[in-house]
Amino acid sequence: MEDNVAMWTLENNGFFMDVRRCSRDIQEMAFEKGLIPYIPADRNETRTLP
């Protein structure tokens, strides 16, 4: 789910953006509207590098 770019891409005024790179305020609005499954900063998962 985290690696699926389509899931995190939103359109705003004709421009596509990856909501994971947006400010927390925008992420919260998208989450409240049901556009994203969770707020990325709230995930407490650690990733290890290969």
Give the residue extent of every domain in the chain.
Answer: 5-40
| Comparison of pLDDT for 16 and 6, the residue scoring more | 16
- H/E stretch holding 9: strand 9-12
Chain-centroid distance of CA 32 in Å reads 12
The confidence band for 48, taking pLDDT boundaries of 50, 70 and 90, is very low
Q: What number of helices (H) and strands (E) belong to the chain?
A: 2, 2
Chain-centroid distance of CA 46 in Å reads 17
Note if the pTM is more than 0.85: no
What mean pLDDT comes out for the span 10-26? Answer: 92
What length is written for the chain?
Answer: 50
Q: How many CA atoms lie within 13 A of 1 on its CB side?
A: 6
